[in-house]
Amino acid sequence: MTRALVTGAGGFVGRHRVARRRADGWDVVAATRADADLADPDVVFCLAAGRAKATAAERAASTAVNTTPWLVDALPPRCRAVVRLGSSTEYGASASPLAEDAPLAPRGFFGATKAAGSLLLLAAAAERGVRATVLRAFQVYGPGDHPTRFVPTVLGAAAGGATVPLTAPGRRRDWVWVGDVVDACLRAAADDALPPGQVLNLGTGVQTANEELVDLAERVTGRPIARAPGAHPGRSWDTADWVCDPSLAHRLLGWTAGVGLAEGLRRTWAAR
């Protein structure tokens, strides 16, 4: 039986990852920030992410969570692979689909710490001779996401009649289903043919504006959704174009995002 350690097991993607592997018969050690027992794993999934940044103490704590090369030093000899869930916000803005050779130019605190953590982890793994893979996911969504994030906010408005504050029109994202991200993590852990230090992007290659997602959610739920265009200031990394080139993940892992946005919204709505 393969034994896996999952850091960030209490987070959005982590909960889906743990449930999937346990259903498949793996022995999964779920580690939160308060519990870092490495427990002799065969593979490690680094899914922890810190986002708090309002104070100096919060920024220090988030940086510590997002930059974790110490993990590699603590791994037992039996561990054969480390898979880190990175972020598309590690890249700079681009009018073209972002491939893995795009420059790292994060425009926000979170992206900067994730980019630093990816580089540090890959360097530490190379020194130890552990195969490490970084998966830079684009906009992940699905059941169990934090209620303040966009898709839960939109579906909550469909259910309860609240008004959705929208950014200025034309802010686009590449939405990728959480189950597809979990599948990529599993493939990366199992594929010993992956080169050490490989970076792969996870996305659909399709981008959707925020107002278009609300339109789609209305069709999926069959309910009207009130909206206030321009009422949300947006985020530092919002852009008119934010889309993945997923071809390398397909070529090296045989991975393709299998759930389109309409189907993903249906599943998320049904899971409420």
Domains of the chain: 3-271 (3.40.50.720)
Listed range (32-46, 116-130, 170-184, 202-216) with the worst mean pLDDT: 32-46
Of 35 and 219, which is predicted with more confidence?
219
* pLDDT of 33 over the 50 cut: no
41-83 pLDDT tens trace: 888 898 888 888 999 999 999 998 898 766 788 888 888 899 9
Report the predicted TM-score, pTM, of the whole model to 2 decimal places. 0.89
Helix, strand, coil % in the chain, rounded to nearest 5: 40, 20, 40
Give the model confidence (pLDDT) of 76-126 as tens digits: 888 889 999 999 999 999 999 999 999 999 989 999 999 999 999 999 999
Contacts of 267 (CB under 8 A, 6+ apart): 142, 143, 177, 259
Say if residue 272's pLDDT is above 70: yes
Identity of residue 22: R
User: What proportion of the chain, given as a percentage, has pLDDT over 90?
Assistant: 69
Contact 173, 139 (CB under 8 A): yes
pLDDT of residue 226: 97
Q: Answer whether residue 36 shows pLDDT above 80.
A: no
* 46: Cβ contacts below 8 Å, ≥ 6 apart: 7, 8, 68, 71, 82, 83, 84, 85, 121
